[in-house]
Chain A
Amino acid sequence: MARSLQIENGSVNAYHRIVHETPAVRVRELRKIFTVSEREAGAAAALRDLLRRRVREVPAVDGVSFDLSPGEIVGFLGPNGAGKTTTLKMLSGLLHPTGGEVAVLGHVPSRREKDFLRQITLVMGQRAQLVWDIPAADSFELNRAIYGIPRADFRRTLEELVALLDLGPLLPKPVRTLSLGERMKCEIAAALLHRPRVVFLDEPTIGLDVTMQRRIRAFLTDYNRRVGATILLTSHYMADVEALCRRVLVIHHGKLLFDGELARLVQRFTAHKTIVVRLEDPEADLSPYGEVVSREDGAATLRVPRELTARVTGRLLADLAVVDLTVEDPPIEEVIERVFSEPRA
């Protein structure tokens, strides 16, 4: 992968690989500024506020640029309030950007052209589009009519979705009687019946148990392969991102902090590696080799600067009677946490 990244002084210079296709999603200097009115508590403040409203401008998305190639699955990471959902809404035409350019499949989303809407979908984990009182199957039929899906195509897609998501037993039940996970599967199916070429997923696995999360992940991979759809998803579960996305976008305070391969994110933001070593003498002194993070069950965990990893490993093997030794990157959650705790640029 020839995508290299440099992040200097908080600015992002992403040298994207040369793509021959036009990007499915093209975002340039995208900005969204929300105006919120402010006032202090109390009646006097309320009166003052009547005379002169004080407003504050809050940049939710502040100059974000990236491209998504057709067929890519990209993870969109960031803490709450970082601007992920705002960006997804601008990409799907629900929010009008304050500045910058967006093109999705060559359309300007905020114009909400029918041809554009027919080719995209947005799944919001905590919001429901299914009709609550009737079986999901009936809502699917309604979507078939709304999107004008030919019956034969509809049947084929539905069969696929039913098989992949194991929806069979759920279809005849009123949606309100389904569990959260079951409902989410139906929501995703409903959102994909028209076989959108671009899929935006906002927390598709939120609140679901591990089995269900895994199922939805497998399904998304499969959908991406079958339809060649471009998928941009946000998730709080790093397992989602690790399983699905080679590339991630990291957004924080409305700015893009990182755009590149997940593996490089770890390299970029961690100065340390972890060495787990098991010795014949469990009491041996390890402090000269690095910071001892933990010692339990005869295994010791050392934290060493990334550039010293090879040298420390060599010294450990030469100096001590080593039973077992592994070198690891810190867990991705830890990396992400570190990224987000960096001071605002």
Chain B
Amino acid sequence: MRSLPALYVQQFKTSLAVMLQYRASLIIWLISHLLEPLVYLVVWTAVSAAQGGSVGGYDAAGFAAYFIVLMLVNHVTYTWIMWEYEYRVRHGSLSFALLRPVHPIHADLADNLSSKIITLPLILAAAAVLAAIFRPSLHTPPWAAAAFVPAVLLAFAVRFLMEWTLALAAFWTTRVSALNRVYFVALLFLSGQMAPLSLLPPPIRLAATILPFRWTTSFPVELLLGKLGLEETLLGLGAQAAWILACVVLLRLVWRAGVRVFTAVGA
């Protein structure tokens, strides 16, 4: 464990070096991360205009605030691990990970954090440009702004642990991409990526709240938009902590079982 901080530092340097090798793909990545919230933002602004200026408590400036904050939260919480694991299992790079005296999740976490830190200035600049164009309105009480920081970090932890655990499905099946598609459709609706959860029908809202999805993205966005009371906020932070605990336990169990399968069959 002594060497973990050093590992994170070195992984940061490695990720930086890899990213700088592909400057063009960095631009493409930025555009894709901008485009999705932008599309929803334009659509919902049009809908609210058609509905007489407001839908479910969101006017044009409200939607602008929602999707710009969502873009920032999404930047902090998203992972790409589910697209990588099948390759790792099939092509043997997992074997190398298993030969190393460090749990492979550390390399993934370090890599994820590194790319986030490296791309943060880009996404902040993009948010500033969007804010200048769409003029969002934010009514955030100071306590909510303060609570936003732990909320977004916990949201990242929930999503990272959950998606890392789900990625381990690659140990059992070669059809991971089908599973991934189901997951990402659920994420799109239930985590508030497509629309604020408050605009969705109550059963979907309930599902989003019971399942981990709301806590991976929507919750910190709602918080910063000033939509949540103190009690709801504390409950939310508690729900995040509970999901993190559950995911850690699950991850350990699934990882152990997955490695057992992997080392029984070989790759």
Contacts and interface: CB of A to CB of B under 8 A. Distances in A.
Interface of A: 34, 86, 89, 92-96, 110, 112, 114-115, 117-118, 120-122, 124, 127, 129, 131, 133-135, 138-139, 141-142, 144-148, 174
Given A93-B99, A127-B95, A145 B10 contact: yes
Given A96-B260, A133-B22, 4 more contacts: A95-B266, A117-B100, A120-B99, A127-B92
Nearest to B259: A112
A117 B99 contact: yes
9 contacts: A94-B98, A94-B99, A124-B95, A134-B18, A134-B21, A135-B17, A148-B2, A148-B3, A148-B6
B266 A145 contact: no
Contacts, number: 84
Nearest to B18: A133
Interface residues of B, number: 29
Interface string B1-19: 0110011011101100110
Contacts of B6: 145, 148
A118 B99 contact: no
A142 B92 CA distance: 19
A133 B96 CA distance: 17
Contact of A121 (B14, B18, B22, B99): B99
Nearest to B92: A127
B263 interface: yes
B13 A141 contact: yes
Contacts of B264: 95-96
Contacts of A135: 17
B22 A147 contact: no
Contacts of A127: 92-93, 95-96
A323 B34 CA distance: 87
A110 B264 CA distance: 10
B102 interface: yes
Interface in B1-45: 2-3, 6-7, 9-11, 13-14, 17-18, 21-22
B143 to A, nearest CB: 40
B3 A96 contact: no
Contacts of A129: 93, 96
> Which 3 pairs across A and B sit closest by C-beta, in order of nearness?
A148-B3, A145-B10, A117-B101
Nearest to B7: A145
Contacts of B21: 133-134, 174
B2 A131 contact: no
Nearest to A151: B6
